[in-house]
Chain A
Amino acid sequence: MSDQPSSASFGRLLTLVPPSIAIGLFFVIPFSLIVLSSVAHQLQSGDFVFGFDTAHYERFFTSIFIGRAVYSAILSFSIAVISLLIAFPFTYVLTGFSKRTRTIWLVYILAQLSLSEVLIAFSWQILFSRTAGITNLAVWLGVLDKPFSLAPSALAVLVGLVYLALPFAVLLLFPALSRLDRSLIEASQTLGASPVRTFFTVVLPVSRPALISGGVTVFVLTLGAIIVPQVLGRPGHWTLSVLITDQAIYNSNMPFASALAVILLLMSGAVIGVVGWLNRGSGK
């Protein structure tokens, strides 16, 4: 039902004035400022003046920062793959549960998903610590001689990021797997396929679009992680997001931080775009 604009449409458009001001003033303008600032002149004093200076992009391409960007992309990609591998069978089983059990799990997963990254990093820091960590459990079980610290390390960053991403992966796969036509599975089993074979030949191909869009979301989410790499890793494990914060707040170099933010934006946008294009036609 799309009534064509008429005399009454003026009143309708009037209600859109406050939201337009809000979105224009506090999203479109701040967002444009990033692009403008990324080509601004940085002054010795730490301030900057708007202009057209490509020095910050040149610095990005000729310094260690381009390596950090590649590292961030590879890390986010790995986290996306690992969390989907863990989440897919889990969500598949979850959708087969009774409504009550399913809802309890969904509530817990939503609650964990919303938990501040600061708190998640803190929890894993304790679990990886020498005094109160999981190595104490191994000592108690007689596997290890004495407890030791597992963080900061690359493994700690990886585990922390998977923990951060897993609830998202489950919730993103949940709709597609809930709507999965169970009669397809029954048909496959009636025809003599084992549950494992059914899973690989029926369930997995049907869920391809959900897996792809879930992967993209986890990729972008991991690109945005800021606390876990800082708390559980060494400076060598820092991602682009951490480096942007570092440049903006601790080095007062807003133009360079902005240039890095534009790069991060392009990286996220490119992945979203390419995958959206690959996924066209399939799915709904």
Chain B
Amino acid sequence: MADVSMAAAMTGPRGAKPKKRLTGRNIMLYGTLLVVCLYYLLPLWVMVMTSLKGMPEVRMGNIFSPPVEITFQPWVKAWAEACTGLNCDGLSRGFWNSVVITVPSVILSIAIASVNGYALINWKFKGSDVFFTILIFGSFIPYQIMLYPIVILLREAGLYGSLWGLVLVHSVFGMPILTLLFRNYFSSIPEELFKAARVDGAGFWGIYFRIMLPMSLPIFVVALILQVTGIWNDFLFGVVYTKPDLYPMTVQLNNIVNSVQGVKEYNVNMAATLLTGLVPLVVYFVSGKLFVRGIAAGAVKG
């Protein structure tokens, strides 16, 4: 019996199954993906190419073609000379405004939200879940409905139009998603660790700083990425809660590009646009998978 089946096996297929690389399926698959990538990459290409051309070449040529003569003049102009209204000191002002807005906002919002998430998981008190539910619902509600009451609150506090007012607004609106992020992360840390620390006599802040924080650096990085891009990209709050000399980069960019006066300098506009997008792009390309984790956190069920 065994000999017969052995003989039969030797004549049939044997060993590794042959693999075909260029199947019709693969051509379709990679073809589609390449076309899609072209659509995604096109604007970046156009932005970079246009910003490196002189105005005459922009007028003459094709927006998709690379520059014949590379010039960095549009970048210099966008950074240091472009005009918004009466100010002609370029986007640099907006850039520094955005830096000054983003840094404290990111720190404050992450500090608050991480403590929130920690309290919600390990120190539940009566009603804590209710506040969290309101917070999550609040993140879906259009900001427009809360715009004006916040104006009043900030005015009462003497912060309306100031940097710190905007920092508070960013911390408030960053709270739902960040709290969710930290809450979900802390819930994955074994509760026994928290219990052990309590038996060891550590209190609320002791456990937060000595146990939780050192264990949660990855999620802090995720939150950092989320907040830096989110706050840098904000437009609405910048317009509503600050004065023109404090306008963040996005607002200033829009004012430069969409201003009606003067001749349109498309190369300068694209350089300015690219400059504004540079910070989030750098964050994005450096952070890689952590960025994906951050944005997916919003979709994770709480």
Q: Do A and B come from one complex?
A: no
